[in-house]
Amino acid sequence: MIRFMRPRTVKQRFRLWIALAILMLGLSINIALYILYQQETQAEALRNLSDNLSLQTLFIDRWVQERTLDMRLLTEEDAVRTLNKPLMEEIFRDFTVLQKDFSSLSYVNADGVTEVDTYSATGLQVNERDSYWAAKQGKSSMSDVIIRQASGETVIIFSTPTYDKEGQWSGLLLGSVKLETIQRVVGSLKSGETGDFYLLDWVGVPMTKPRFIDDVRQNPRPISTDITRRAAVQSVSKEAYANYNGDIVFGSYQWIAGHRWLLIGEVSKKELNANLYGLMLVFIAITLVTLMLSFSGIVILTRRIERPLEFLLQGTRIIKEGQYGYHIDPAVFKDAPAELQELCDNYNLMSRKLKTTVKLLEESAMIDPLTELYNRRYMMQNGNHRLLLALEAGYPCSLLLIDIDYFKQVNDSHGHLVGDRVLRHVAGVLQRQTGGDELAARYGGEEFMVLALRLGAVQARALAETICRAVAAEPYEEDGVCIALTVSIGGAACTGLVEGAVARPLLEHMIEEGDKALYRAKQFGRNRVEWETGPREDG
């Protein structure tokens, strides 16, 4: 051994120093790759957690906004404004059947006593609750998480003030909203074998089931870990910490619902390092083999590792810039280790899922869920832009505002569920009568809009007459119910851009003109078409 370490000949010394140089180079490469890959793995895990949290935050915030809007819409019902309690109870029960997230609704009078309640007996005093005083000041509110003793059901209470026909405060509506939707979405998130996503309220009590807690209802105690303490002071750190189960994890968080709920995502450090350790064993074995090879062989082998990592890193940067759905060519990983090939496949799979999810979110923001037509938001954001493009190209354009005649009587006589089906029925007629450059949308309530991008006043009025006849010819028929329908239509046309016009969206001006014509159509007997400026031949 001593003789080996002290070679006497140049040949022996050269072999020894080449062997030591390759060994040291191999060790250096392995150490450097270990550090870089460990850092990148941890950073990638945190990025994935952050991306998932951002996506779910968007969903939960939207969910809260929709439930608040549901409550406000209920306060606009005539039964609520006139305090028709039997009808109010019927509406409440129908609403809880239709809107599965609500478990119960109740009406509280101005004295703080429940008079209508779909869950329990009436006569309960609630005038000491914060929601009562907030409603008395004209404010909507949302409670902390409540676990009902009888059913063990986890709910939150939304409250909204109510007003009578004269606009005087008459009490408030309380809506018990189940957290099953949020629990299902948060529970469906996955990040590796140990990835964990859970939701806490502002004091740290679990709202959804963490991975290692069997039953939230049996463990209502607050969770206090490094991540909750960081969240309390808005601190950001990439350091690992011990979670509620004592495991060392990396985590990320986001406050949502007006800083009242805390969404946390965690992944085990042990899991992140598991693939790293296996990969390092491969590197060490390659290093030992290369003791018999040249230095160039070492460079080639390391390059085969570095190149796939560069593509993965490039792909994450592209997705970070918003190009969801970016695809890495698997041919790049053809000669890479199996772990990196699997990583490439998983990356492409997650990229496709992310693109699909973002697309669904974008579509849900622009499509009316009841009629599957464009909604008002889409028309106001994109309709004016498309209108200007058509006018700049020299095409005349027209707008039709369509109102279902006596629709309130349909709701009053047959109920809101039938009313919704009537809206879908009329929307179907519009879809069949329009297409191409004619955009049909639900403008609000029982009112629809058609934006014809290449039709002048004469052609658009003909289309309006056709729609009138089609609706009248196709009454709503289902389950033995037959409802004759008619519509009133107001139209307005525009044949070109006016220089020096007021800096207001042109579509808004056309809507205003069409609304005037619609008013005349209703005033002159309904089931007719009126035009604001009178159709004339377009040049």
Q: Specify the DSSP element, H or E, that contains 199.
A: strand 196-201
pLDDT value at position 107? 93
Domain endpoint, select from 154, 178, 202: 178
Phi and psi for 46 in degrees, rounded to 5?
Answer: -65, -40
Mean pLDDT of 89-101: 89
In a domain, 471, yes or no: yes
pLDDT value at position 500? 44
Region of poorest pLDDT, from 139-153, 393-407, 433-447: 139-153
User: Chain centroid to CA 515: how far?
Assistant: 33
In a domain, 82, yes or no: yes
Query: At residue 370, does pLDDT exceed 60?
Result: yes
The first and second tokens of residue 513, run together, are 């003109």
Can you point out the beta strands (E) in 65-153? 102-109, 114-117, 141-142, 146-147
In a domain, 516, yes or no: yes
Catalytic residue among 446, 447, 513, 530: 446
The whole domain housing 400 covers 376-531
Q: Which residues contact 119 (CB under 8 A, 6 or more apart)?
A: 103, 104, 106, 176
In a domain, 450, yes or no: yes
What is the CATH classification number for the domain harbouring 149?
3.30.450.20
Is 440 within 8 Å of 449 (Cβ atoms)? Answer: yes
Band of pLDDT at residue 45, cut at 50, 70 and 90:
confident
In a domain, 428, yes or no: yes
What is the CATH classification number for the domain harbouring 484?
3.30.70.270
The residues that bridge with 94 in the sheet, in sequence order, are none
Count of other CB atoms within 10 angstroms of residue 330: 12
Distance (Å, whole) CA 100 – CA 71: 14
> Is 193 a catalytic site residue?
no
Mean pLDDT of 357-375: 75
In a domain, 89, yes or no: yes
Q: What angle do CA 511, 517, 523 make, to 5 degrees?
A: 135
Query: Which of 179-188, 382-391, 461-470 shows the highest mean pLDDT?
Result: 461-470
Cα torsion angle, 62, 65, 67, 70, sign: negative
Domain endpoint, select from 127, 148, 178: 178
In a domain, 397, yes or no: yes
Query: At residue 435, does pLDDT exceed 90?
Result: no
Distance (Å, whole) CA 186 – CA 180: 10
133 φψ region: left (φ > 0), alpha (ψ -120 to 50), beta (else) = alpha
Is 457 within 8 Å of 530 (Cβ atoms)? Answer: no
pLDDT value at position 539? 35
Region of poorest pLDDT, from 141-145, 340-344, 443-447: 340-344
Band of pLDDT at residue 2, cut at 50, 70 and 90:
very low
Number of domains in the chain: 2
Phi and psi for 161 in degrees, rounded to 5?
Answer: -70, 150
In a domain, 300, yes or no: no
Distance (Å, whole) CA 51 – CA 44: 10
SS3 177: strand
Domain endpoint, select from 178, 199, 230: 178
pLDDT value at position 535? 47
